[in-house]
Amino acid sequence: MRIWNLPVIDLIPFDELEEERPVALVTTLEDWNAVKDDLDHLNIVWRADAVDPIVQQWANLTMDLQQSNLNDAELAIYAVGGEIEVDAAKYIAHHTGLELTCLPTALSADSFLTYTSSARDQGSVTHLETKPPERLIIDVDVLAVAPEDLRAAGICDLVSIATALWDWELAAEEGQNPEGMELIPWVADAAQAILDGALECAEAAGAGDAEGLKQLLDCLALGVQLCNQIDHTRPLEGSEHYFAYALENYLGKKRIPHAHLVGTGILLMAEFQDQYTEHLERALKLCHIPQDSVPEDAVGLALRGLPEYVRKHAFPYSIAHELKMQ
Ligand SMILES: [Zn+2]
């Protein structure tokens, strides 16, 4: 068993970042445009736009970099943007053996802290083991001016603890946790404390306040490392995530950020779990997670198919397995 690490995190303005090496950049036009003036001192020798979280695309980008006749030994990979860029860059860095530095433009997910790349494949999500970035650069002034609905959207990957813990406990009660995923009470308590920290900073982080964003980052980092220690993600991912993954199949070409789908999943699943949801809903609102961006018919279809979906893709036992939809 390997216990993965978090990246080294530097809280510095992007324009103070020192980098001697030539840079292979993974970004998207929109995210790059938001910060390029702060990064004009980088020597960018290769650039890729990350489009879809699909392994074949990541493999093509990797091959393109390898065939570009750059002196590999000197190159540094940089991911600038959100989870789509980061997941692609982690894959490329893993397969080329190059060091990865991530520069998030919003705290929109926890992917810049994890060692996996989440690939979409045949209607579901596979968390491929790649590697964590070696270095994470956090510029709170950049995060503060990120689009409101993305700025602190990573809170959804923490508020999900409320529904995920409930599922983990349900599975324990019903003897449905497989070997290696048994309920560990102190881990559940630690996750609850992280959730409390996230709920506490929701207002400040959502408003772009520096201390609030730092606390949200702390909660994201602790949540990821907690899962790294136990080698699974049950404290952070349960039925709300399964629902979010199922929902992606009913959105057609409409692109909705992962966090927003998870937000919808949290409120729905918490209700099925008979949980008090007011404080969860409040935190999501304070972080500007839209409550109406997902088309209702897609929600209905995803819900109806959920019990079958979670079995088909062998997700760990949760309330989603027990839903009886008409
Ligand atoms: Zn997530």
Question: Which domains can be identified in the chain, with CATH numbers?
Answer: 8-144 (3.40.50.1970), 151-322 (1.20.1090.10)
In the predicted model, what is the mean pLDDT of residues 136-157? 97
CA of 74 to the centre of ligand 1 (A): 33
Residue 326 clears pLDDT 70, i.e. is over it: no
CA of 86 to the centre of ligand 1 (A): 14
| Mean of the per-residue pLDDT values of the chain | 96
In the predicted model, what is the mean pLDDT of residues 137-145? 97
Closest CA to 156 of 83, 65, 95, 210: 83
CA of 258 to the centre of ligand 1 (A): 7
CA of 210 to the centre of ligand 1 (A): 23
pLDDT: is 293 or 274 the higher one?
274
Euclidean distance between CA atoms 106 and 88, whole angstroms? 17
CA of 161 to the centre of ligand 1 (A): 10
CA of 70 to the centre of ligand 1 (A): 35
Closest CA to 147 of 115, 178, 104: 104
**Strands 124-129 and 116-121, bridge-based pairing:** antiparallel
Residue 73: what pLDDT?
72
Answer positive or negative: Cα dihedral of 13, 14, 15, 21: positive
Residue 122: what pLDDT?
84
- Residue 161 Cα distances to 70, 97, 112, angstroms: 44, 33, 19
Euclidean distance between CA atoms 246 and 303, whole angstroms? 8
Residue 52 clears pLDDT 70, i.e. is over it: yes
- According to DSSP, the residues that pair with 120 across neighbouring strands are 125
Q: Is the pTM of this model over 0.85?
A: yes
Residue 225: what pLDDT?
98
CA of 293 to the centre of ligand 1 (A): 17
Burial class (CB in 10 A: 0-12, 13-18, 19+), 38: middle
Residue 66 clears pLDDT 90, i.e. is over it: yes
CA of 157 to the centre of ligand 1 (A): 5
